[in-house]
Amino acid sequence: MSNGSEKNDNESVDSRGDVLASKDASFNSELSEYLLSLKELADETLDARVRFSADCPRRLSEAMRYSLLAPGKRLRPVLAFVASELCDGEREKVLPACVALEAVHAYSLIHDDLPSMDNDDLRRGRPTCHKQFDEATAILAGDALLTFAFETLARDIESPEIASQCVLTLASAAGATGMVGGQADDVVWASTLKSGVGAFDIIGETLAVAASETSRRSEKTVDDPRQFGLAAFLRKIHRRKTGALIVASLKLGALTAGATSEKLDVLASYGRHLGQAFQISDDLLDVLGEETVMGKRVRKDASSGKLTYPALYGLETSRLTLDETAENAKKALVEAGNLFDQDSRAFKALLYVVDYIVRREK
């Protein structure tokens, strides 16, 4: 978050300091306003629906709302809204999914910031949850938000079949083979690298699988096994840590609209590329960004021993990879043929989001 700092002349920000648009001619102001309206709807929905009875301890409730309602992009709820509209869904029906997605995201940020994880003091321009309250309360607030997400899906989605699909989709994306699995590999890599023993053993299985798949596709040998393995391991981390919840956001929006499996597959492909682009952008911002703009500590990945795109490839190649990944996200939609109305506002908005991710400064 801007945290009171002056904004760049080429940016416009909402009252909560979140960069959502640019005055650059390549950015469409109509789409920017559309996405801003969805963000505001997500904010209003979260505020209205995340309230608890007297059985919830007041301090716990305050910690949950403090983290959940902190100013942010609301990217995941916005993607759910847009995917629903693209599949001719009703906005009211996607609201529970939007709440659940942001609850899972907020929980992950609370736990990421803990001393035993990334040990961050600042998030979205404010003290992190464990700094504002205490470590035990932060852990419990994260736990409560995670379970609240599935309670919301099960209770508030009218169709039992769609509710079940949404619960399964979000659980898979957030769990041991999704976001948490990616976070676990990220943490283990950094801690093992610091210890100086056995770091390369972590990527052994990933390297074997990736090399086997490459051999089947191209019948070529790998010139640099270590670099090849690290690249495959990096993609595997971020496909789960970042990409899984972005893919789930699109799928939940589409599921609440009754989308076909073909549409779900296309949106998932777009989401995988978008998730990778988001992470590359995040890695670059950690190196190049400013704390007053980002609203969190920067230049911490290298000191923490994190495996990132700039650390593995350098800045120039990382930027080129970001551009290539962004184009792949767009192609996934454009090459879907007649599955979607490519002249629709929702379709154009998903293309716009790709450009926003590439250009963002926070």
**8-state DSSP, 10:** T
User: What pLDDT does residue 292 have?
Assistant: 57
User: What pLDDT does residue 221 have?
Assistant: 46
Residue 2 lies inside a defined structural domain of this protein: no
Residue 114 lies inside a defined structural domain of this protein: yes
Residue 28 lies inside a defined structural domain of this protein: yes
User: What pLDDT does residue 311 have?
Assistant: 86
Give the residue numbers spanning the domain of 272: 11-359
Q: Name the domain count of the chain.
A: 1
User: What pLDDT does residue 25 have?
Assistant: 40
CATH of the domain at 17: 1.10.600.10
Residue 5 lies inside a defined structural domain of this protein: no
What is the secondary structure of 280-320 as a DSSP string? HHHHHHHHH--HHHHSS--S-HHHHT---HHHHH-HHHHHH
Q: Which of 82, 50, 52, 56 is nearest to 69 (CA)?
A: 50
User: What pLDDT does residue 201 have?
Assistant: 64
123 φ, ψ (degrees, to nearest 5): -145, 125
Residue 295 lies inside a defined structural domain of this protein: yes
Residue 1 lies inside a defined structural domain of this protein: no
Residue 32 lies inside a defined structural domain of this protein: yes
Which regions of the chain are under pLDDT 70?
1-27, 193-225, 290-305, 362
Residue 4 lies inside a defined structural domain of this protein: no
* pLDDT tens, residue by residue, 207-250: 665 555 554 544 444 456 677 778 888 888 999 999 999 999 99
User: What pLDDT does residue 333 have?
Assistant: 96
Q: Using alpha carbons only, what angle is made at residue 235 by residues 232 and 240, rounded to the nearest 5 degrees?
A: 130
